[in-house]
Amino acid sequence: MRTTSILAGSFALLAAAFSGAASAEDAAVAAAATAAAPSALDPDAYFKGQTGGTFGKSLTSVLLPKTKRVAVAGFRVIFINYSAVSAQVRASYLPGRDTSGAKASMNVALEGVDTATFQAITDKAYAEFLAQLAAAGREVVPASELASFHAEVEPSPQPYEKEVTGAKGIAFAPTGTPLFFTYADLGWTDKTPFNQKSYRMLAPLSEKLQAIVVAPLIVVDFANMTSSGNRSGLMARDAEVGASLAMSVKTFNTPMIRAEESKMGMTAKGEEGNVSLQQGITSDLAFGTMEKLEETDNASTKKVFDVIGGFMGVANGGGAARKKSSNAAKTDNATYSAAALDVLGRSTGTFAAWFQKYPAP
C-alpha cells in the first residue's frame, strides 16, 4: 500500500537544503504531485474526533468539509527509547491454598540510534505529512504564513525527555520549527491547565489563516510490552511479563480547529475539537534483535526454603516469587529509520485520508 511517499518527502527536504530558496515545508508541498496518495486504511476505523468532548458532533461532518486550507501549526514526534512493565500476584490465604504472591518485571532499552537520526526521521515524516495532505486535495498553508506563530508560541526546552507510565521518550519537532506542548497533550506535556498560552494561540491562528489548524503529537514505540497484570493469589499463581520488538504508533493526538472568529484565544464562531487514534498502527519491517543483559529469578532459592518451611509447618517459607530481566533492543540508524518512517508514513497517511474522505468544496 505504500509507494514512494517517504522518498518524495526526503527529496523535498534535500531540495530545500541545497537551494536555500525554500523551507522544508514549502519544498514538501511542491513535491506533493509526486507523493503517494494517503493511506488505504479506512481513517474512520483509526481516528475519532468530536467537538465539545465525548458527546459532541463528529469533526468529519462539521469541520473537515468546511475549508480546503490546512495549517500544520506543530508536528511533535516522541520516540520511545525505554519501556518497562511489571506484573503482580497478591498474597492470599484460604484453607488448603496459601500463596505468598509473585512479582515479575522487565525492561527494554533501545540501543544503536542517535539523536541526529531521530531528528532526520522527524524532518522526513513532516515533509511526507504535508505532501499527503496536499495529495488528499487540501491547500497546505506555507511556512511563511506560520512564521509569526512559531516566533510567539511558548517553546519547550530541548532536548525534551519524559517518562510516562514506564515508558521514556525523547521529543523532536521539524528542523526550523519550535517544539511546543499544550496543556491538552496529556501525559507528555510540560504545561499545566493554568498555562494555556500555546493552546490559545491556535484559534486566532485559524481565524487569521482561514484554515483548519492541526498540531499532531505522535508517539513512536519500538517494543510491544505485555503483562498478566495485578491479580489475586486466589485466582492466579504466576506473574508473567514479556516483550517483543515491533515498531508502532499507538498514540496520535491533535487539536483540530476551524475558527471564523476567536475571542480570548477560544473559538467564538466555528468548530473546535480533539482527534485521537483509536487503535495502533504497526510496521511489518524488522529493525533489531532483543538481547538479554541481566536476569534474576529466585525460583530455586524459594523452592529450597519452601521445603524447609514445610518441615517446620510454615507454608511458603521461601516468600514471594520474584523475576526481573533487563534487555536491550539492538539496532542501527538505517534499519531503525526505515521501520520508523514506515509506521509514521502509515499513520500520517491514514490521518490525511480523513481529509480526502470528507472533502471540502
In a domain, 231, yes or no: yes
Per the structure, the count of domains in the chain is: 1
pTM metric for this prediction: 0.84
Residue 21: what are its φ and ψ, rounded to 5°? Answer: -100, -10
Amino acid at 335: T
Which residue reads 515491533 in cell numbers? 246
CB 141 within 8 A of CB 69: yes
Residue 204 CB partners (closer than 8 Å, separation 6+) = 259, 262, 265
pLDDT band per the 50, 70, 90 thresholds, residue 302: low
- Mean pLDDT along residues 249-266: 94
**Distance separating alpha carbons of residues 160 and 217, to the nearest angstrom:** 14
Which residue reads 500520517 in cell numbers? 348
In a domain, 309, yes or no: no
- Mean pLDDT along residues 186-208: 93
Q: Looking at the predicted structure, is the pLDDT value of residue 36 above 60? A: no
In a domain, 142, yes or no: yes
In a domain, 299, yes or no: no
In a domain, 274, yes or no: yes
Ranges 70-79, 173-182, 311-320: which has the least confidence: 311-320
- Mean pLDDT along residues 120-142: 97
Q: Looking at the predicted structure, is the pLDDT value of residue 168 above 50? A: yes
In a domain, 171, yes or no: yes
**Distance separating alpha carbons of residues 241 and 66, to the nearest angstrom:** 48
In a domain, 342, yes or no: yes
In a domain, 312, yes or no: no
Ranges 102-116, 203-217, 289-303, 336-350: which has the least confidence: 289-303
SS3 of the chain: the string is CCCCHHHHHHHHHHHHHHHCCCCHHHHHHHHHHHCCCCCCCCHHHHEEEEECCCCCCEHHHHCCCCCCEEEECCCEEEEEEEEEEEEEEECEEECCEEECCEEEEEEEEEECCCHHHHHHHHHHHHHHHHHHHHHCCCEECCHHHCHHHHHHCCCCCCCEEEEECCEEEEEECCCCCCCCCCCCCCCCCCCCCCCCCCHHHHHHHHHHHCCEEECCEEEEEEEEEEECCEEECCCCCCCCEEEEEEEEEEEEEEEEEEEEEEECCEEEEEEEEEEEECCCEECCCCCCEEEEEEEEECHHHHHHHHHHHHHCCCCCCCCCEEEEEEEEEECCHHHHHHHHHHHHHHHHHHHHHHHHHCCCC
Within 10 angstroms of residue 189's Cβ, the number of other Cβ atoms is 20
Percent of the chain whose predicted confidence (pLDDT) is above 70:
78
**Distance separating alpha carbons of residues 352 and 49, to the nearest angstrom:** 14
CB 92 within 8 A of CB 234: yes
**Distance separating alpha carbons of residues 157 and 181, to the nearest angstrom:** 10
**Torsion over CA: 214, 11, 334, 172 (sign):** negative
- Mean pLDDT along residues 347-357: 97
pLDDT band per the 50, 70, 90 thresholds, residue 95: low
The residue range of the domain holding 212 is 5-294+321-357
What are the pLDDT digits (tens) for 49-89? Answer: 998 755 689 999 999 999 999 999 999 999 999 999 998 88
pLDDT band per the 50, 70, 90 thresholds, residue 352: very high
pLDDT band per the 50, 70, 90 thresholds, residue 130: very high
Q: Looking at the predicted structure, is the pLDDT value of residue 101 above 60? A: yes
Q: Looking at the predicted structure, is the pLDDT value of residue 35 above 60? A: no
